[in-house]
Amino acid sequence: MTRASLDKQPHEVASMFDDVAERYDLTNDVLSLGQARLWRKAVAKAVDARPAQKVLDLAAGTATSSQPFAQAGAYVVPCDFSLGMLQVGKSRHPWMPFTAGDATKLPFKDDTFDAVTISFGLRNVRETDQALREMYRVTKPGGRVVISEFSHATWAPFRTVYEEYLMRALPPVARAVSSNPDAYVYLAESIRSWPDQPTLAAMLQDAGWSKVAWRNLTGGVVALHRGYKA
């Protein structure tokens, strides 16, 4: 897979993440210029995990994103369809219940989780609408969804600079720090082809979520979408 589109083959995406699993967290910190840590903190605050709550962390990778929920006392299930990511995560956090799963066919019962969250993984799901419906299905009534995803910068001059960084600066940086730099070319292109903030909000509403809202982070480079299950 060398070019990005919204018609993704799941096995190709999974294989790509298998290849970058070992150095994925380090690479993200470098490529985001340190912003990834701030984005994770914003997600943790939005999810607001509490003791004894059940949290499903989709596209959890090595479970770096899952740690704040566990530290808050919640029972968190890191779920990903990349076995390579899960294996690296399990070696680092052997006590966590890592689960292999496809976001469009989640291996969980209806009304199981108090919160479902996915960070920087929704755009890699082939059937986004189906994934949003599945998240709704496994969430308890009154529960919430939090989606952190790359989006569209809101200030035009900054948007131009950002897109230039994605397509010109990101690949050489990825070559220096990543085990599979071609994967990051795909990721950069997938960011450019992803829907904007209002479009994703409408997709959430169509999937059944209510009280849908979003907040821009880093000038809209990332958007934090939230919704609730009535």
The pLDDT value recorded for residue 6 is 42
The pLDDT value recorded for residue 168 is 73
What is the average per-residue pLDDT within 168-192? 70
The larger pLDDT score, comparing residue 85 to residue 57, is at: 57
Ranges 77-81, 82-86, 137-141, 222-226: which has the least confidence: 82-86
Query: Looking at the predicted structure, is the pLDDT value of residue 4 above 50?
Result: no
What is the average per-residue pLDDT within 106-120? 97
How would you classify the pairing of strands 99-100 and 222-228? unpaired
CA distance 227 to 201: 9
Reported as a pLDDT band with limits 50, 70 and 90, residue 214 is: very high
**Quick one: 195 exposed, middle or buried, by C-beta within 10 A (0-12, 13-18, 19+)?**
middle
Phi/psi of residue 66, nearest 5 degrees = -85, -20
How big is the chain by its Cα radius of gyration, in Å? Answer: 16
CA distance 194 to 175: 24
The larger pLDDT score, comparing residue 178 to residue 221, is at: 221
What is the average per-residue pLDDT within 74-97? 95
Query: Looking at the predicted structure, is the pLDDT value of residue 13 above 90?
Result: no
Query: Looking at the predicted structure, is the pLDDT value of residue 164 above 50?
Result: yes
Residue list for the binding site for S-adenosyl-L-methionine: 62, 80, 102-103, 119
Query: Looking at the predicted structure, is the pLDDT value of residue 86 above 70?
Result: yes
What is the average per-residue pLDDT within 38-65? 95
Residue list for the binding site: 62, 80, 102-103, 119
CA distance 132 to 144: 12
